Amino acid sequence: MKTESLGVSGSKEPRQQSGFLILKQYPRYSWLWSGQTLSVFGDALFIVALPWMAYVVTGSALILGMTSAATALPPLLLSFVAGSIVDRMNRRTVMMVSDLIRMLTLFVFGIILGAPHVQAWTLIVLAFVEASAASFFKPARAAAIPQIVRADDLVPANALLSLSSQIASMVGPTVAGLLIGLGGRQLPFFLDGGTFILSVAAIWVMGPIASLAKSPESAKGIGAASRETLQFILKSRVIGALLLLQAVDAAITSTSKNRKN
């Protein structure tokens, strides 16, 4: 696979970089990394704030479980379709559109949580939309990194992104708890939406990513690929069982947690 210009000056010797030197070696990757670290921090806010707010505003453990299931199901339902679409489209475009959808979703979350009465179904639908958009972003990001980083440096580049994401994931819940404790039930959602603005800006500054030549498999229409995926899911007892277990686990876990509170 050919990669586009990697933004590396001077020698083309395959010398592997390590740690934060990757950010200096690949300016374009540094933009993607910084945007993703911020958005992962925002996601950590969302993961804590959403189920908590779902229970606070509805008083229903069932709605809490359904909201949690709505965030857990899209990765299982859409993973095959998302990969197929990413293969057909420009990865940068997919990432930006996905982040814009999530940004709007989070802002809508923040707005409706400020209303006197919140309809439970809106929380479930918005949670599903947000998780669905994320299901398209992740494969696009994974496919984009090899196009802006040399093969020799993929391991440290991915390791750095993983490390920063883990740190952001640990800090986010604490911040979410502080914001909610201060009485700002809307703040975590607005802050998360703001991180997506920064992520979109970083991906934009990163610059274009060349579209790759389509493989024979990706030449199929998206509709055909989606039908094949749906048929596969319906015929697969394993995947069907996993989907059911995921939904039941989310509902039971959420219910048990709130009975303790």
Q: What rounded mean pLDDT belongs to the chain?
A: 79
Q: Which of 54-58, 146-150, 184-188, 229-233 has the lowest mean pLDDT?
A: 229-233
Decide if pLDDT at 219 tops 50.
Answer: no
Integer Cα distance of 170 and 89 in angstroms = 33
Decide if pLDDT at 118 tops 80.
Answer: yes
Integer Cα distance of 160 and 225 in angstroms = 34
Q: What is the largest CA-CA distance in the chain?
A: 62
Provide the 10 A C-beta neighbour count for residue 52.
Answer: 19
Integer Cα distance of 136 and 124 in angstroms = 19
Integer Cα distance of 104 and 235 in angstroms = 35
Residues 6+ apart with CB under 8 A from 61: 55, 254, 255, 258, 259
Average pLDDT over residues 149-159: 89
Give the pLDDT confidence score for residue 249 in this predicted structure.
Answer: 59
Distances (CA, A) of 104 to 17, 18, 50, 82, 189: 37, 36, 15, 20, 10
Q: What is the set of domains in the chain, with CATH numbers? A: 29-260 (1.20.1250.20)
Provide the 10 A C-beta neighbour count for residue 174.
Answer: 12
The confidence band for 235, taking pLDDT boundaries of 50, 70 and 90, is: low
The confidence band for 23, taking pLDDT boundaries of 50, 70 and 90, is: confident
Decide if pLDDT at 63 tops 70.
Answer: yes
pLDDT single digits (tens) 78-104: 877 888 788 888 889 999 999 999 999
Decide if pLDDT at 216 tops 70.
Answer: no
DSSP codes of every residue in 35-67: HHHHHHHHHHHHHHHHHHHHHHHH--HHHHHHH
Give the pLDDT confidence score for residue 218 in this predicted structure.
Answer: 47
pLDDT single digits (tens) 198-210: 999 999 999 888 7
Percentage of the chain exceeding pLDDT 90:
23
Residues 6+ apart with CB under 8 A from 86: 94, 136, 139, 140, 143
Write down the pTM of the prediction: 0.75
Average pLDDT over residues 113-129: 89
Give the pLDDT confidence score for residue 21 in this predicted structure.
Answer: 81
Q: Report the residue count for the chain.
A: 261
